[in-house]
Structure formats: C-alpha cells, structure tokens
Amino acid sequence: MDLSFRPLHPLFAAEVSPVDLRTTESPALLEAIRAGMHQYGVLVFRDQPFTDDEQLAFAERFDGALHAKTGAAALGGNRFGNEALADISNLDENGELLAADDRRRHYGLANRLWHTDASFVEPSGRYSLLSARAIPPVAADTEFADMRAAYDDLSPELKETIESLRAHHSIAHSRQVLGFEFAPEEAEKLKGVIQPLVRTNPVTGRRALYLASHASRIVEWPVPEGRLLLQELIEHATQRQYVYRHHWRAEDLVIWDNLATMHRGRPFADTKYRRDLRRVTTLARGSLTGLCAVQPARE
C-alpha cells in the first residue's frame, strides 16, 4: 500500500491516507509512517475508530515502550484503570461532565498552555497518539507549533547562547502557575527532570527547541533571567507562521513528535459539551529508525 501525505501547513503537518491503523502491522508501512513523522512532525489520520486496546497495541507496534508515569497519576488512578491511556477529556468515571469546580477539571486546564508531553520524566515522551472518541458541536481545537522551524529562524547569536543550556521540567510547575495546589505527598511524586533546551533528531539532523510550560527555570542561569529567556523563546516559537490548528473530527487519530513540536488545547464550553480524547505516548528511547523518502500528495 502506498501512503499519501497531504501537507496541512507550509512548514509541517500532513494528513495521511489510505490506511487503517488498527490493522497496520507491515514493517514497511510502519516505517513509512515513521518517515512521515520525521518529515512533518504531526500526522493526521481520519476515520480511525479505535478501541482502547487497539490504540495501545498500535502505539506499541509503532514505537515500543509506553509512558505511564503521568502527572495525573499522582492525584489518583484514571477512569480507564491504565495510566498508559491518558484521559484528555472533561468527563468523570460515569461519563458525566466534570463540574466547573472539580479538581480534575482544574488540573486539566493546564493543557491549554503550550507544552510538550512527558518532558517531566526520563526517558521523556516521544510520539503522542491522540484519539477522538467524542467531539463537541463547537470548535475544540488543538494547536501545534513547529519547534524545528522556530529554531531555524533564531539568530546565530541566540543559537550559540542556548546550545548548552538545560531547563528543569516539572508538571507541577505548569499547574501551579494556574493556581493549582498539590498536597505534599503529591508534590513529592512530581519533582521533574532536567532536559536540554535544544534537541537533535539523529536521523534527519534537524535541531529543535525543546520547550514546554513544564519548564520552570534554566539550570545554568539565575531564576529571573532564565524564566525570561524561556518566555521569550516560547513567544517566538508560537508565532502564527509556526502554528498548525487542528479542527477535530470524530475518529481522528493525530500523532505528533514531542521532540519536534509543542501543542496546546484551545478553550471551549467544557462544562456544557462532552469531549472525549484519549492519548497514548511512547518513550524517547530506541525509537529513531531509518528514514525513507516521503513525497507530498499532489493537490
């Protein structure tokens, strides 16, 4: 089967067809999708009616070990009973809307900040696979920013400045800036890790900024200067020319590379309309494989 990659943005992101990922096991086909990820950073697959088990199985076929040390796990188990399946919804364990003052809703609001999945653990997150099970009748979009293009457009002087810098990433930090309060035992589980500010894909050689709302400070710099630099870089990297906005349809599956992109959910009337998205994230180890040619589809 020959896959078609239709670009969705001048810099990155493509829609892929025809393929049913639930039954995709061919090494050649999986490698073609990985090559598309190296090139586009974000891939959109329409009409993918996954069950939970099918989504988990495909993620493992695609990239191996799964991330299960989610920040939400520090607050208690999720409604699926499997932390590898992250609950990106506004629903409780009975499928009802979370109340406006529900602590779980407050925690999830931080997904509206620009972030990178699982940057607060080691190994960090590589590919995220987000499945749309139920979509509201209003826009509830997700935006993605190309960290490779953003890095490319930095001045030579700024590239040299940040080359060896590292940032501390903690999911507690991104929640606390919104006023979320953790109990001491919860905070103890969310100390975070240190990550480089620039990462390189060894297959393509492309460099990318590695940013997130989880990044609290630059390790090598005093706190005020470090936070200002992080803010400056995020503002640069999320300018409109670097951003693709995805309008969800039911049964979409979107895969993105957390080492090449940053993303955020856009606000919608989440106390009025149901939205059920489920995410699986793979770990950034042993997942960089050979690159094969990917040709954009003709318009």
Question: What is the distance between the alpha carbons of residues 33 and 235, in angstroms, rounded to a whole number?
Answer: 30
Question: Is residue 287 predicted with pLDDT exceeding 80?
Answer: no
Under 8 Å between Cβ of 280 and 127 = no
The token pair at 36 is: 């598309």
- For the stretch 152-167, pLDDT in tens is 999 999 999 999 999 9
Cis status, amide bond into 49, omega within 30 of 0: no
Question: Is residue 142 predicted with pLDDT exceeding 80?
Answer: yes
- For 174, phi then psi, to 5°, come to -65, -30
- Its CATH class, for the domain covering 4-89+98-283, is alpha beta
- For the stretch 79-121, pLDDT in tens is 999 999 999 999 999 999 999 999 999 999 999 999 999 999 9
CA-CA-CA-CA dihedral for 241, 295, 7, 39, to nearest 10: -50
Question: What is the distance between the alpha carbons of residues 258 and 256, in angstroms, rounded to a whole number?
Answer: 6
Confidence of residue 76 (pLDDT cuts 50, 70, 90): confident
Under 8 Å between Cβ of 147 and 211 = yes
- For the stretch 39-75, pLDDT in tens is 999 999 999 999 999 999 999 999 999 999 888 887 8
| Residue type at position 78 | N
